[in-house]
Amino acid sequence: MKKILIATNNKGKAKDFEALFNPYNIEVLTLNDLEQDIDVEETGVTFEENAILKAETVSKLLGITVISDDSGLEIDKLNGAPGVYSARYAGAVKSDEANIEKVLTELQGVPEAKRTARFRCVLAVAGPGQETVTFSGSCEGVILEEKRGTNGFGYDPIFFNPEMDRSMAELSPEEKGRISHRGAALRQLEEHLPQLLDSIGEQQ
């Protein structure tokens, strides 16, 4: 059976990829399914560099096709920060609450017109003997002055999407998937699925 590994421990992300590949009889694995503990240090300065680094490193280790993603929040007033440091913006230990508080503090007193931001996601696909390809998506919005909503994760409660007239944390998973940065990147990937499926060999 053909296999593809998603370089994540996040079960929510894995479900998105399972929905994409299951109709093609491809087994979707994640880092949680491996006996070995793989931790790739993300030393890139862009989402693209980190996604490629992760996908290629894990693919070489395991000898199978790997998809990785790197994503985060870019705030114009903060010169694109937190960017690639989104997950650990407030410190070495990941904390959504601490990250949100840091952003709100840094934007204190900044008017709505200057609180523009976007979520960005880059997917990288790497496989044995294959040229690595990337797919990207973004979602434009505005940073709120306080949290709204209880769905989602990360910066969702303070990211207002004008198209939906709600914060990302006020959207259902289905609504979020239609307009999110990861949803956009996944749709790009899906458009190139025929070529990708041809490149995935029978892997043990």
Binding residues for Mg(2+): 41, 70
DSSP string, 91-153: SSS--HHHHHHHHHHHTTT--GGG-EEEEEEEEEEE-TT---EEEEEEEEEEE-SS---SSSS
Binding residues: 8-13, 41, 70-71, 153-156, 176, 181-182
Query: Which residues, including other chains, have CB under 8 Å from residue 159's CB and lie 6 or more apart?
Result: 73, 117, 119, 141, 142, 143, 144, 167, 168, 169
- Give Rg (Cα) of the chain: 17
Q: 99 with 89: CB under 8 angstroms?
A: yes
Q: Which of 16, 33, 69, 70 is catalytic?
A: 70
Binding residues for substrate: 8-13, 71, 153-156, 176, 181-182
Q: 66 with 58: CB under 8 angstroms?
A: yes
Whole-angstrom Cα distance, residue 55 to residue 138? Answer: 20
| 70 noted as active-site residue | yes
Known catalytic residues are 70
